[in-house]
A and B are shown apart, each in its own frame.
Chain A
Amino acid sequence: MKPLFINGASCISPQPTFGTEFPFEAKEYTGSRLSCIEPDYAPYIDPKLSRRMGRLLKYGTTAGLQALRDAGIQVPDAISTGTGFGLLDDSGKFLKNVIEAGEGVVSPTAFIQSTHNTVSSNIALAIGCHAHNNTFAHKGFSFESALVDAQMLATEDDKMANILVGAYDEVTDYSYQIMQRLGLIRSGGESNTELLKTTGRGTIAGEGAAFFVLSTQKAENTYATYRGCKLIYKPSSAQTLSEAIEAFLAGHGLDRSEASVLSGVCGDDRRDTILRAINEGLFKGNTVLAYKHLCGEYMTSSAFGMWAAVNILRTRGVPEYMLLSGTPSCPQHILICNSYKNDYSLILLSVA
């Protein structure tokens, strides 16, 4: 499938990634729950409307609209997005209302907003976009499925010039409490900067929204080239994944020594086994970067990773705080190797 140019990018996250210059000044957190730094929504959403909107609907919509502005595009030719849990806070709120009312009279607002496709359709509504509009809700494949959707669209239809792709998730009081009970969260009060330096059980919970305009034509503002994405379900071993990575890179004319790696390790030894083995095996000697200590772990965190990666490729500089191993040299190619439980994915990006 044909490579695409990333001509617009935007990210709202627990880091100062929105309306700032890259590299941003990394914010340090103690505690195991990272929440988005919310911007002023007024330049993006009519305050009369945003008053009734949930947090994720606001920051998801804003990130999407800003990516379009960044690319100088008013209406894209398609919108494709991913979300692991959808609008979890509204789902929880509506469920609570129903239970507390004993299934009596409840307001429909939270129910309307709880649908997974609310952000994607709200963006379409805001800009009057009648084109292809998709929402994937599949754990660690949510964002990746949208990337594949976009690349297929661009390959199938010559008229596709600009496609808005993004992903978004939120952590809520309920989901955080449940993750704690499931033993998925670190218990200590350590700094997020220590997450990947120490081994332990559990990760830190995160959230965020990142959007991109993927275009068929290069522009002045182009961040990077998007080459392709591969979804790999439950690789049986690090060896299996190594082989899949080498085949994927070879398919794009690259050798493993040529790519810097942006690794999706999350700090939980039980979940990082395969990715750590890849970093220390297949990519021994390569520059290996990481991002989940910055945004926390969530199903669509690879979109945060991609936002950081395209900025690295554009600015030709690697922030020290992302370096896991190797030297902070300017990469030509970044391979994002992510995993969320059973879902492993590869995203390849190159200097435009």
Chain B
Amino acid sequence: MKSPIYIAGIGIISAIGDNAAETLAHLTASETGVSGMEILPSAYAGTLPVAEVKYTNAQLAAKSGLEPWQTRTAQLSMIAAREAKENSKIDFSKWRCGFISANTVGGMDRTEDFMKDFLADASSGDLHDVINHDSGDATEIVAEKLGCTDYITTISTACSSSANAMMYGARLIQNDIVDVIVAGGTDALSRFTLNGFKSLMILDEQLCQPFDENRRGLNLGEGAGYVVLVSQRVLDSEQVKPLAILSGYANANDAYHQTASSPEGNGNYAAMTGALAMARLTPAQIDYINLHGTGTPNNDVSEGTAIRRVFGDTPPVMSSTKAYTGHTLGASAGIEGVISVLALQHGVVFPNLRHQTQMKELAFGPQTSLLKRPLAHVLSNSFGFGGNCSSVIFSKS
């Protein structure tokens, strides 16, 4: 990496809290956010647990300051991105600022309301519900509110989306296109994604158990997570202390299957080794791996196999925090990026909830109790549909 990129602020909203402080409290107390469905109006309420942000759209709008008819994806994004901006203590008006957000569903939560009427009669359906459909829409709404309009874009690479947003943001700063970037992602629960994952038969009807021999699938979640990225020049000028360094990252492709990961975890391996090479770290220097760890049979064995290839049979401590937040898809790398920064800041490894039985394919398992120890380097993995695999390394500043 040419010049270091620092994280100057973090913001997060998910089923385990409306901000970073609440998130840290729930993670430390081993309190899951996965529960019965109360907000999403789905036929699967009562059968499929989800990690919902337990606010209606109107309640979210009261927090975000956006209009209640605007998409849930935008509402969640606004709340977390604003927290990240405020947390950074940087005067955005002095700099060229950009907003790089990620999502996979866009305004699908509203579109599915529209489609019900529209399918019955093409002249019906409230157009308000569909004009925010495309993925870029939430990004522009929030970018304007943040005052980050010097560079705006949206990345949609399935479950690795917001890792790629952070990388792109860091590179925009290094290439002197902007000075300050708010980067991360957002995704709201929708019937579209719920039924999609259901049709793929990878949803767990119980609470998910990542990296467990008897894991049955994933629980979907929703939320948003963002970091504020800056250069040394901005830090010096603003006289603010960074929370962490974004020391390495890599984007690779598994090129194996549209939805499944290769048994050897080739894409995962390439992403992890690429991020280590950029950070100029040896595998032994990683103190904690925040796993992609969705809880599906395929992901966890593929990721575990790739970890063994990179780290050997005695890898660093690791845990998946999806047992708390659910799998938040396009937001997951943003949410887990914030969680990784919290781990570094507070010197704590959050336990992998509900782990009972060691996976037979692996010689190692996840951390199952709260571990307090100073951490220097945290690796965060995000792997998605289409073989899109990304890894990011956060280091203590």
Contact = CB atoms under 8 A, between A and B. Distances in A.
Interface of A: 1, 79, 84-86, 91-92, 94-96, 98-100, 102-108, 111-118, 120-122, 124-125, 127-139, 141-142, 145, 148-149, 152, 155-156, 174, 177-178, 181-182, 231, 233-234, 299, 342
5 contacts: A112-B259, A112-B385, A116-B104, A124-B255, A156-B171
Nearest 10 interchain pairs by C-beta: A121-B386, A138-B136, A111-B196, A116-B156, A103-B43, A108-B199, A138-B154, A137-B156, A137-B135, A139-B136
B136 A84 contact: yes
Contacts of B316: none
Interface string B96-117: 0000000010101001100110
B301 to A, nearest CB: 20
A121 B195 CA distance: 22
B196 A94 contact: yes
A95 B113 CA distance: 10
Given A132-B253, A139-B134, A177-B118, 19 more contacts: A94-B195, A95-B111, A96-B115, A98-B112, A99-B116, A111-B195, A111-B196, A112-B259, A118-B386, A120-B157, A121-B255, A125-B256, A127-B255, A132-B252, A133-B253, A152-B171, A156-B171, A231-B151, A231-B153
Given A86-B135, A141-B136, A115 B154 contact: no
Given A139-B134, A156-B171, A125 B255 contact: yes
Interface of B: 2, 42-44, 104, 106, 108, 111-112, 115-116, 118-119, 122-123, 127, 130-131, 133-137, 139-140, 143, 149-158, 164, 168, 171-172, 174-175, 177, 191-192, 195-196, 199-200, 251-259, 266-267, 270, 384-388
Contacts of A112: 200, 258-259, 385
B95 to A, nearest CB: 16
B385 A84 contact: no
Given A99-B119, A125-B387, A86 B253 contact: no
B257 A95 contact: no
A98 B386 CA distance: 22
A145 B154 CA distance: 9
A142 B388 contact: no
For B116, B136, B257, the residue with the greatest tally of chain A CB atoms inside 10 Å of its CB is B136
Given A103-B191, A112-B259, A115-B104, A134 B251 contact: yes
Contacts of A113: 258
B157 A135 contact: yes
A85 B111 CA distance: 13
A103 B42 contact: yes
A155 B387 contact: no
B199 A85 contact: no
Contacts of A141: 136, 152-153
Given A125-B257, A134-B251, A231-B152, A342 B140 contact: yes
A136 B101 CA distance: 10
Nearest to A120: B386
B134 A137 contact: yes
A102 B119 CA distance: 13
A178 B266 CA distance: 42
Contacts of A145: 153, 168
A124 to B, nearest CB: 5
A134 B155 contact: yes
A95 B158 contact: no
A195 to B, nearest CB: 23
Contacts of A108: 196, 199-200
B201 to A, nearest CB: 8
B199 A118 contact: no
B386 A130 contact: no
A14 B137 CA distance: 27
